[in-house]
A and B are shown apart, each in its own frame.
Chain A
């Protein structure tokens, strides 16, 4: 939110007549007594419910609304994540429509529709109008959403910045009509209010009539048997490049090959991501928490809420992998009877129990609660979105950190053209216009994935435009030059690896540096696999890595869910997965180098044959042309043999003997070309 826009606290009247927030209460304190500490009484006056709007205002950075650009992304993201979760939970192959429209200066309307199960009428207000309401927080099951804040926070941001309610259409079955609701959160009481139909919402009549009614409300609805469409209007900024909506959808398509996405951006460009599999991910099972993963505070709460009459039953019933004998052992360790009432366990005993748990050997949790993407689909997904020459994937077996099962998988794509090379002339000029980068150099680096400072300098030098020119000021001819330079300058050397991070199939687009995934990638020695890399940084080259952590509980570094915390168990699995694809890449690059050498070698022979033929015919007047042709034939024969010549260690190399193992795709140049033209054709 821009600093110039009014603070939300100012729009919404304060919740109680006398007080304002604790913060302003202090500010209003009598200046003469400024040095005096507050008394219990004065403090009591400030102690009260915190209004939702205040909570939101204070925490918007945690919730992903810290700036207008990110607000747009977060809104789309919350809606799409929910849509995918809902579809998958209902066993429906997801199809998602995303439409972003510009409705004014700095104002956008985001509509996200899914073909999911829909939401029953009575739940709608709670979901979209109440913070911390959701179905996913209390269970141990892999899903995208976790906290029950997402979509209502987005709705609130829209409300606070534009005053417009969240608009929802939902249809639960073919037989029932769709319902339309306009919902607004009552920020005083954290309760939702349905504004239309006298608090009941309205039915949408079928077919033509319905479409007309919907249009009147300024929204859209794609006719489906069931599904949900959420429309939020908000103050935001649309800008392509890193950390954009476009990037989020693209990355989502990679990690969710079973999803079809139809995206229309504010400039009315549309992009479709087709699904590459009709196979839904297996339904993840819900599991009880494992004792190792439960923190003391949570243990105390669980004890208090216990429904079981005895501590032993509580332990066996609330946790996974606690057998009667383990429960008995835990009780013995802390010297309480197995029949003790869990509700009566004191703080001290709880602490002892917590420690006993850590010291007792308890089997690892079952891991069938995680649904990895799988190597096959990673390869398909990557290939669908990222053009390249070589693809490899590895899914590690499940492992456990702090009692939480998790699984790491990695996909790698090497080669192909960089995003900078793929951009069209129109796309480039649009991006230049949108950019708020101060200099052209900064524009290049922040806009294009994998484009480093060196590469940017090279491009600018080739385009013959100044580094410090402001991107918006470029003349048409200069844009032409820049576009040409982007296409022609070989930046694959100066390019640094693209790392797409995912947690439970959701792209993580920010805080890369703080993330265990990025850190592990940097700590891996990529030089061993034929890439150049300076110590402790990302390797360079035309490579895209997608790394997925699937878990019932992803340990984020903070609430904004953008970086995975470093646990040694997680980093170990990451390392092993990276090494698995790294080795395959190394094999490919070595072979490629050799093939290139063969090509050079053939050329070399061809080059010298002419000289030899001339020299020989000068000495003995032999027919130069005949000799040349004959030598040429020998050269062809020889280099054909040379293809299976000796490797570095002098062992014969057979082409097929290069065994990449499973889960690798190598794309021939012809295939690459046809894929490219196909893509350009649909674009």
Chain B
């Protein structure tokens, strides 16, 4: 992140919103009224599935947060602190991680023994609140999340001006930063025809070691489980700007389904970012509930479903974007009927490179995926 972001038009827009927020407080105080903010609700109750755009959108519900309310006073104060922290960052042309911001704002409240933020877990949701409140993206507040997720494959990019050939990343891969906006990341040259996104690092290693991406002319990514925003935004840009289809290889369990759902439709928590993150055309390559039989896996790879798994599976079955898809209903029902789940690594029990040499190529060739 060597590049010094100057106060550009985007920043001016964000600063304007921040100052509006502040002057609302001054105004309320002058009129002897309760200062408050109305924060768009970030929960399932306030998301809608937009059938035409095929992703989750945020509804119009808001939650009022007041300074003079016993249960809200502290989070109100924290909201203002985050806003002032973001203002500082923008004015100084600096960015920091959400952890950095937490440390920037954490101190003991004067005359008490109380900390402004007890831990980072208390700060993170307030940052998300500020994003929706200010209708600004995290990057626009000059914040980034801890990066997790890597990429390798037939593409050359420029990161803050440095050219990076993703085909020459050795065994490690290119760490996808949390801010991948065009101002930071440019696509220079691309030979890839598709993107294979896998759930976690271990599987990704397998594919990288077998140089799957070279053989099949693709980009290989992972997001350490639920992919962070940087990864999702990167996939989104690659998909939209370079017209690369996205195939996901995830575990055969409710969590795998959920990750797919987030990549495809957007997340409930960050529904306001769906527009720039969701990839409605992403395909679910596997693992599938039928694979245990089809691939003739041994009993030892089965992991029994527990109660939460079953509950989650049923919940996902009911998501409006899955509810009308017969194939998906069948898939999840089969998972429940099986009574067990499978990790992608289960395929290794057949052969170390079964997943890279047989399973994935075969599925791609047969176009055997779920949509």
Contact = CB atoms under 8 A, between A and B. Distances in A.
Interface of A: 597, 601, 604-605, 607-612, 614-616, 618-620, 622, 627, 630-631, 633-635, 637-639, 642
B73 interface: yes
A639 B69 CA distance: 10
Interface string B1-31: 0000000000000000011011101101110
Contacts of A618: 84, 87-88
B67 A631 contact: yes
B366 interface: no
8 contacts: A607-B111, A610-B110, A612-B35, A612-B76, A616-B80, A618-B84, A622-B23, A631-B29
Contacts of A612: 25, 35, 67, 76-77, 80
B19 A620 contact: yes
Contact of B29 (A597, A611, A630): A630
B29 A634 contact: yes
Given A610-B109, A611-B77, A612-B25, A601 B70 contact: yes
Contact of B74 (A608, A610, A619): A608
The 3 A-B pairs with the shortest beta carbon distances in the complex, nearest first, are A619-B22, A630-B29, A615-B80
Nearest to A618: B84
B328 to A, nearest CB: 43
| Interface secondary structure of A, over-half rule | helix
A608 B25 contact: no
| Interface secondary structure of B, over-half rule | helix
Interface in B240-276: none
Interface string B71-92: 0011011001101100110000
Given A619-B21, A630-B32, A611 B80 contact: yes
Contact of B109 (A597, A608, A619): A608
A601 B26 CA distance: 22
Given A607-B111, A615-B80, 4 more contacts: A605-B67, A616-B22, A627-B29, A638-B68
Contact of B81 (A597, A615, A634): A615
A608 B73 CA distance: 7
Given A601-B70, A616-B84, A631-B67, A638 B76 contact: no
Contacts of B116: 611
Contacts of B83: 615, 619
A633 B23 CA distance: 18
Nearest to B70: A601
A633 B32 contact: yes
Contacts of B74: 604, 608
Nearest to B30: A630
Nearest to B116: A611
Interface string B95-132: 00000000000000111101010000000000000000
Contacts of B32: 630, 633-634, 637
B163 interface: no
Given A610-B109, A612-B76, A612-B80, A620 B70 contact: no
Which of B28, B77, B116 has most A Cβ within 10 Å? B77
Contacts of A639: 68
B34 interface: yes
Nearest to A634: B32
B65 to A, nearest CB: 12
Contacts of B28: 634
B195 to A, nearest CB: 41
A634 B19 CA distance: 22
A616 B30 CA distance: 14
A615 B23 contact: no
A607 B73 CA distance: 10
Given A601-B70, A634-B34, A608 B76 contact: yes
Interface string B217-231: 000000000000000
